[in-house]
Amino acid sequence: MSFASVPRIVLLSLVLTMFASAAGSESTTPAPQTREGKIPFSPAQGQPFPRRYPALDLGFGLSTFSPKLSDLSGVYGHAPSFRLNPMLSASVEIAFSRTFGVLGDAGSSLMDGESSAAQGTVGLVAYLPAFSSRRLRPSLGAGVALCSMSGRDSETITEAGATGWFGRAGIEYPLGPTAALDLYGGYCAYPSVFTDTFVAGQWTRVSLDLSNVVVGLRYKRFAW
C-alpha cells in the first residue's frame, strides 16, 4: 500500500463510521405512538356530544290563553276578557330520537283575582332535519288539548271546560349542549260547549267556543 492511498482509506473509514452511527441512533429512538379509534366530537367546534335515546327534557315558560268570549256578550252586556293572560307553563318531553318525541305541556293563568284558566296539551312532536341548521331546529306537533276556565265579572260567573285537538309549529334555538329556547305558536280547536253562567241569582246555560291561538316561549333543559 502506497502513501498516496492512505487518505482514501481514512476517508472511506470515516464514511462507514458515520453510517454505522446513524443506524445505531435510529434503532435506539422509540417509534412514535399512534392512537387508534375515532376522535370524539368537540363542543368547542360547535359539535354537541351525541345523546343517548330515549332522553328526557324538562321545560318551563310563558304562553297565552285567549278563547273567543263574544258568545257571552248577551249575558254580560259585553265580551269579557277575565284577564286570563299570561299563563305559566311546564313541559315534559320524551325524545325517542333527534327527530321524534312525545311532548306534554300544561299551564295555568298567573293573573291575580277571581278568574282563572288552565290549558294542557299532549302529543307527538317532530323536528325537521331537512330545514335544520346548527343554530336553529324547526318542529311540528299535534295531539290532544284540554282546557278549563272560571271567569267572574261583577256578579256574573262563568265556568267552562272542553277537550279537543291542537297543532303547533316552533323554532328551537340551542343554548349550549344541555339547554335550548323554544319559540312556538299553534291553535287549540275545541267544540262548542254549554257553560254554566250565574246571572241574576240563577245558573244559565250558554254556548261557548273555547278555541284559541297559542303563542309561547319555553326554556328546555336536557335532563338525561
Most confident of 64-78, 84-98, 104-118: 84-98
User: What is the pLDDT at residue 45?
Assistant: 52
pLDDT attached to residue 76: 79
pLDDT at 73: 83
Most confident of 57-61, 66-70, 192-196, 204-208: 57-61
CB of 126 closer than 8 Å to CB of 163: no
Taking residues 88-117, report their average pLDDT. Answer: 92
User: In this structure, what C-alpha cell is assigned to residue 203?
Assistant: 245558573
Of 67, 60, 66, residue with least CA distance to 89: 60
Q: Which residues contact 115 (CB under 8 A, 6 or more apart)?
A: 82, 83, 84, 109, 149, 150, 151, 152
* Residue 51 C-beta-side C-alpha neighbours within 13 Å: 17
Q: Bigger pLDDT: 103 or 40?
A: 103
Residue 205: predicted pLDDT: 84
Q: What percent of the chain has pLDDT over 70?
A: 77
pLDDT tens, position by position, 128-177: 987 767 778 999 999 999 999 998 877 788 889 999 999 999 999 999 88
Confidence of residue 105 (pLDDT cuts 50, 70, 90): very high
Domains of the chain by start residue, with CATH: 56-222 (2.40.160.20)
pLDDT by residue (tens digit) across 113-132?
Answer: 788 999 999 999 999 987 76
Angle subtended at Cα 194 by Cα 188 and Cα 215, rounded to the nearest 5 degrees: 20
